[in-house]
Amino acid sequence: MIRGLSPHPGAWFEIELNGKRERVRALRSTLAKGEGKPGTVLDDQFTIACGKGSVRLLQVQRAGKRPMPVAEFRRGAELPVGSVLC
């Protein structure tokens, strides 16, 4: 869905950062190995479980911010393995 919905309306998820919910757009991704409950963070490389299989996010964009690589995003957003994205 990330590629199919790009650039409009875009694929996104919500997380809680600093006590408030924030929308994050998923801009680039790649297929990855792993399974779990959809929306669950599977590893420290930001692999997210889907309905079938999983994807590794490569580039995201926080609301009102510039697009950034996931490594940069993760420095400012703590999402431990097992977190579930909305």
Q: pLDDT-based confidence at 16, cuts 50/70/90?
A: confident
Pick from 42, 54, 55, 53: which is nearest to 81 by CA?
A: 42
Topology, domain 11-76: Methionyl-tRNA Fmet Formyltransferase; Chain A, domain 2 (3.10.25)
pLDDT at 3: 54
Q: What is the pLDDT of residues 47-80, one digit of tens each?
A: 999 888 899 999 999 988 999 999 999 888 888 8
Q: In the predicted model, is pLDDT for residue 20 greater than 80?
A: yes
User: How confident is the model at residue 7, as a pLDDT?
Assistant: 56
- So what's the pLDDT on residue 9? 60
CA 50 to chain centre: 11
